[in-house]
Structure 1
Amino acid sequence: MTWTAPHVVRADEPFVAGERAMLEGFLDRQRATLLHKCAGLTAAQLAERPLAPSNLSLLGLVRHLAEVERTWFRRRFADQPVPSLHGTPDRPEAAFDDAGSARAADDLAALVAEQAAAREAADGMPLDAIFVSPRWGPMCLRWAFVHMHGEYARHNGHADILRERVDGAVGT
């Protein structure tokens, strides 16, 4: 039997809530949307790069966003000594370049695990918690939540196009 990415149930974000619940709810909706765009596809379809010469694939987006989740929430804000998942200074595009069907199930599971680990790392941390970036200076956790909304929204737009090119599926 051929493996396919599992179905995802997306919960609505809160329509009335405090700032923290709203930020977390919208981010969780964006997280689930990427997984939803992958649902039902085979490993080969997830790894397909339908927009030549681009290195974009749904699997590449999955790998990239797992890295971004890990970087912002665990490495930077929670100061956890976890290594990079894919990229290296000399290969910053490795998440996209090395996205192959052989590890698709593991890569999807890694994203789900990183999303959970990011939630756990940020849980209880005040939105005003500060990470001092060597490049940009002080940044608060609130900024990281808003940044992640934008990161997912941009890549979910890519995922819409990629999914349509892979199998014709359209929709939210």
Structure 2
Amino acid sequence: MTTERREPAGNAAERPLLEGWLDYHRQTLAWKCEGLTDDQLRTASVAPSELSLMGLVRHMAEVERTWFRKVLVGDDPGPIHYSDDDPDGEFHLTEADTWEDARATWQAEVDAARRAASGFGLDDLSRGRSRSTGEPFSLRWIYTHMIEEYARHNGHADLIRERLDGATGD
């Protein structure tokens, strides 16, 4: 499978622009993982870090779930990979963790995020609130934050992928 990445149109309206860049960054993370074995995807970047491509995908599943389902909609489906006892559980991989499962879970959360956002306008406020300020977030803010979150982690993914097999690219 070859991941197709599409930048949003340069003259797109605000919402399609935000959604387009978010999808572009989602596609970039999938692309960085393409063609690797489960063992490669579980390989940590550099000791002592536990950061791996599969861990990043599992982390982004948690992030999608938190911002769109918990914060925006006000639902609390609970964590997928972490717990109070293991707050970084998405990065603690075992031989039993597979790319197939990680990708399917991530894609299910992306689909749920799209459904959740479809019921809100960019200026609509989240049902969940900031832990630090007690204020809600606009969907615009959440989209912008998610683009930033993916962009930062895609930078990590670039370096991990290059270390694994020398592949580089934007």
**Among the aligned pairs, what percent are the same residue?**
47
Q: Which residue of 2 aligns with 1:155?
A: 153
Q: Which residue of 1 aligns with 2:45?
A: 50
**Superposition RMSD in Å:** 1.5
For the residues of structure 1 that align with 2:164 and 2:140, how far apart are their CA atoms?
A: 35
Cα pair 1:44 1:101 within 8 Å, conserved:
no
**Which range moved further: 106-115 or 151-160?**
106-115
For the residues of structure 2 that align with 1:145 and 1:30, how far apart are their CA atoms?
A: 12
Letter in 1 for 2:54: L
- Mapped pair 1:86 → 2:81: yes
Cα pair 2:61 2:109 within 8 Å, conserved:
yes
Q: Which residue of 2 aligns with 1:65?
A: 60
Cα offset for 1:99? 5.7
**Which range moved further: 7-16 or 113-122?**
7-16
- Mapped pair 1:76 → 2:74: no
Cα offset for 1:100? 4.6
Letter in 2 for 1:111: W
Q: Secondary structure at 2:68's aligned position in 1?
A: helix
**Which range moved further: 105-114 or 159-168?**
105-114
Change in 2 beyond 3 A, CA 1:9/1:83: same
* 1:113-152 alignment runs, 5 A limit: 113-131=108-126, 132-138=129-135, 139-152=137-150
Q: Secondary structure at 1:169's aligned position in 2?
A: coil
For the residues of structure 2 that align with 1:94 and 1:27, how far apart are their CA atoms?
A: 25
Letter in 1 for 2:133: W
TM-score (norm. length: structure 1)? 0.91
For the residues of structure 2 that align with 1:134 and 1:154, how far apart are their CA atoms?
A: 22
Cα pair 1:67 1:86 within 8 Å, conserved:
yes
Q: Secondary structure at 2:58's aligned position in 1?
A: helix
Tell me the matched-pair count.
167
TM-score (norm. length: structure 2)? 0.92
Which ranges of structure 1 fall in alignment gaps of 5 or more residues? 1-5
Cα pair 2:42 2:93 within 8 Å, conserved:
no
For the residues of structure 2 that align with 1:158 and 1:165, how far apart are their CA atoms?
A: 11
Q: Which residue of 2 aligns with 1:28?
A: 23
For the residues of structure 2 that align with 1:98 and 1:159, how far apart are their CA atoms?
A: 16
For the residues of structure 2 that align with 1:100 and 1:54, how far apart are their CA atoms?
A: 18
